[in-house]
Chains A and B, each alone.
Chain A
Amino acid sequence: MNRTPSLVVALLVAPLALVLLWAFHEALTQPSGARLADLAETSLSRTGVGNPVTAVLLSYRGYDTMLELGVLLAALLGIWSLGRVSPGFHPPELALTAMVAWVVPLLILTAGYLLWAGAERPGGAFQGGALLGAAGVILRLTGERRLGLPSERAQRRLAIAGIGAFLAVGLGTAAAGLGFLAYPESWSKWLILLIETATTLAVGMTLAAAYPGGPPGPAGNERDAP
């Protein structure tokens, strides 16, 4: 690293930070009574879920979440398009392999719990999906080439499951004249659960599949040679 540019950059970034701090202070002290918090809380009963964060993600701003899953899909498709890469790590020790045998089921179980709990308490599709992804990564680290993932065909279906659920529900409600992603109140809870379940699977699968950094492997359940 060259010392002079790094100092120059520091001298440029420091005043920027000060200005931003000042602006942030001003923003906090502006007399703006309008916060979405109260509105989000009073509308909560109409969403069918008790956790306001889940309500924002799946109901109030569900459209954002759908497009965000699109970002995840674009990254996965981009990684798959780059072709195969060499494995970047060593075969595992025995102790690790033994530990994985009970860590992975535990992760899957916890993911399911987080998905279910997300309706009322902290938790939800992304937290659950992250744990599923972690289970896949741990399997890969023990030399399981396929990370416990199914065939490429099934992986492609799982990768789109979350957006697919959003679109199916959204186009359905639009066709029914309610508007895109406007869930009818009596169905809301179950539609949200459906979308969340599909999203959990899609996020978990995508994170695990993105980890080795290449397209899905050939069929067979082979492991790395020790």
Chain B
Amino acid sequence: MTELLFGGAGILLFAMGLWSFLVHEPLLRKLIAFNVMGSGVFHILVAISERGALRPDPVPHALVLTGIVVAVSATALALALDRRLDDEDPDG
């Protein structure tokens, strides 16, 4: 039951992030939304590694770590691209 609760929260985070990603125009908000979606997915992974009395599964934990590094890399590149656009603005 706990994993349904935590994992379900992850799905809600994913959906909220998706909504925000689609409706907000500014890049910063889109990036935050994308990271919320990512957190949602990681939330589910952490939730499913605990199944009742069974031994916790280390594989989803490792996937989360990998996923975080990927999300950080993508966010950093997006911010750098945006910074470059700002710098080229006539008044920037």
Question: Is A171 in the interface zone, CB < 8 Å from B?
Answer: no
Stretch at the interface among A49-57, A105-113, A188-196, A218-226: A49-57
Residue of B8, B59, B66 touching A65 (CB-CB under 8 A): B66
A21→B9 CA distance, assembly (Å): 9
- A85 at the A/B interface (Cβ < 8 Å)? yes
Contact B8 A24 (CB under 8 A): yes
Binds B, one of A6-14, A93-101, A153-161, A172-180: A6-14
Total residue contacts A-B, CB cutoff 8 A: 119
Contact of B23 among A9, A36, A74 (CB under 8 A): A9
Chain A residues 183-226 with CB under 8 Å of chain B are 203, 207, 210-211, 213-214
In the assembled complex, the Cα of A6 lies from the Cα of B51 at a distance in Å of: 37
Contact of B59 among A36, A71, A85 (CB under 8 A): A36
CB of A20 within 8 A of CB of B11, answer yes
Minimum CB distance partner of A23 in chain B? B11
CB contacts (< 8 Å) of A24 on chain B: these are 4, 7-8, 11, 44
Q: Nearest-CB distance from A5 to chain B (Å)?
A: 6
Interface of A is mostly: helix
A79 to B, closest residue via Cβ? B80
Q: How many of chain B's residues touch chain A, expressed as a range?
A: 35 or more
Query: Does B65 touch A at the CB level, under 8 Å?
Result: yes
Pairwise interchain contact B80-A82, C-beta atoms closer than 8 A: yes
Confirm or deny: A16 has a beta carbon within 8 angstroms of a beta carbon on chain B.
yes
The closest CB in chain A to the CB of B48 belongs to A28
Q: How far is the CB of A46 from chain B (nearest CB, A)?
A: 15
Q: Which residues of A contact B19 (CB under 8 A)?
A: 6, 9-10, 13
A99 to B56, CA, bound (A): 40
Jot down 26 A-B pairs with beta carbons below 8 A, ordered by A: A1-B25, A9-B19, A13-B18, A17-B12, A21-B11, A24-B4, A25-B8, A28-B4, A28-B7, A36-B59, A37-B54, A37-B58, A40-B57, A52-B58, A53-B58, A61-B59, A65-B66, A68-B70, A69-B69, A71-B70, A75-B73, A78-B77, A79-B77, A82-B84, A86-B87, A207-B72
Minimum-distance CB pairs A-B, first 7: A52-B58, A17-B15, A56-B62, A75-B73, A37-B57, A6-B23, A79-B80
Residues of chain B at the chain A interface (Cβ within 8 Å):
3-4, 7-8, 11-12, 14-15, 18-19, 22-25, 44, 48-49, 51, 54-59, 61-62, 65-66, 68-70, 72-74, 76-77, 79-81, 83-84, 87
Other A-B pairs beyond A69-B69, A72-B73, A74-B77, 8, CB < 8 Å: A5-B23, A6-B23, A13-B19, A36-B57, A56-B61, A57-B62, A65-B66, A68-B69
Residues of A within 8 A of B (CB): 1, 5-6, 9-10, 13-14, 16-17, 20-21, 24-25, 28, 35-38, 40-41, 52-53, 55-57, 60-61, 64-65, 68-69, 71-72, 74-76, 78-79, 82-83, 85-86, 88, 124, 126, 203, 207, 210-211, 213-214
